Amino acid sequence: MKNLTKEDMTVNVKDQIFIQDYSKKKVIDGVKIFEVKKFAGEDGTFEELTRISVDGSLEGFPEFKVRQINRSKILGGAIKAWHIHFKQEDIWYVPPEDHMIMGLWDIRNDSDTKDLKMRIVLGAGTSKLVYVPRGVAHGVANTGKKPGTIIYFVNMQFDFKDPDEKRLKWDAAGAEFWTPEKG
């Protein structure tokens, strides 16, 4: 059987054929992504999300001292974005049975990756921790139909009188940012 080329395809589709980009994407300065080990046994699975040292820091994040652990339930199809912290950092985790797109946008004026936007698929059968430095706007889109969970560690306790959580409109980076890529 002979190898084919685009010229062997029908006229109505040959100009639409492309190769998906599999190259490594640039990462926003300071963002860290850690794979969480998942152990499967005959009786189920086990994941050790993180270890917390005596001084309150998380393994892999020696400067990050846990002050609060939160859980958020995101309705199916919902977009929860954008928010920014000036003093606080977050570490996010989405369970593997959920499927969400985490959006990150570097809006720090003095950053080497200023204005860089990233999308990270969380859950979807994988387990990752994502460290979000202060000044990086972040949010999430639940691509599934059922509610999904985010567990996040923060290094400041929430202050209702003077919240460090600032907001941008969900579509500040363009509404298309939150649309899952098709193809």
Return the domain boundaries, the chain: 26-169
- Mean pLDDT computed over 32-52: 91
Sign of the C-alpha dihedral, residues 134, 116, 172, 148?
negative
Res 23: pLDDT: 80
> If you classify domain 26-169 with CATH, what class do you get?
mainly beta
Instruction: Say what percent of the chain tops pLDDT 70.
Output: 99
Res 62: pLDDT: 85
Both structure tokens of 26: 């640039």
At 126-144, the pLDDT tens digits run: 999 999 999 999 999 999 8
At 156-178, the pLDDT tens digits run: 999 999 999 999 999 999 999 99
- Report the predicted TM-score, pTM, of the whole model to 2 decimal places: 0.86
Whole-number Cα distances in Å, 160 to 72, 152, 154, 157: 17, 18, 15, 10
Res 183: pLDDT: 66
